[in-house]
Amino acid sequence: MPSFSIFDIAGSGMSAQSVRLNTTASNLANADSVSATAETAYRAKHPVFQAVEPGAAGQPEGVAVRVAGVVESRDAPERRYQPGHPLADAEGFVYAPRVNVVDEMVNMISASRSYQNNVEVMKTARGLLLATLKIGQ
């Protein structure tokens, strides 16, 4: 494994965690939104990660993770009785996403710490490379 592949590996992890943070932020921002119909209600989004084989076609050697896609939750929206709401249907119901705020906050903290760990890996690798270069002076 080349010396600089550690930066590719940590970078792929940072990129994946960035997508995870963005989808979690989107879920939290829309947790209290409502819609007039179940079809138009917000659905929670979750990234799907995929391990990449070292040296796979088109990938630098050692790249560890990539985002295979972002999927929407299949959970049916919550039906709330709010007859005075401007978006209420003829029966007085509005539809809200099934987003668990506590789960999303835990997911955000986990993604943030994973991102920070990858930053620390890059800093450590940089420091070790610089120290190795100084040995030759």
Count Cβ atoms below 10 Å from residue 24 Cβ, excluding itself. 25
Q: Is the pLDDT at 99 greater than 90, yes or no?
A: yes
- The whole-number pLDDT of residue 102 equals 97
- The whole-number pLDDT of residue 100 equals 94
Distance CA 133, CA 137 (A): 7
Q: Is the pLDDT at 68 greater than 90, yes or no?
A: yes
Distance CA 32, CA 97 (A): 8
Distance CA 50, CA 52 (A): 6
- The whole-number pLDDT of residue 58 equals 59
pLDDT-derived band at 69, boundaries 50, 70, 90: very high
pLDDT-derived band at 5, boundaries 50, 70, 90: confident
Residues 6+ away with beta carbon under 8 Å from 114: 13, 17, 20
pTM of the model: 0.83
pLDDT-derived band at 36, boundaries 50, 70, 90: very high
- The whole-number pLDDT of residue 137 equals 75
Rounded mean pLDDT, 73-90: 93
Task: Specify the amino acid at residue 77.
Answer: P
Count Cβ atoms below 10 Å from residue 99 Cβ, excluding itself. 23
* Angle in degrees, CA 94, 26, 44, rounded to 5: 55
- The whole-number pLDDT of residue 105 equals 97
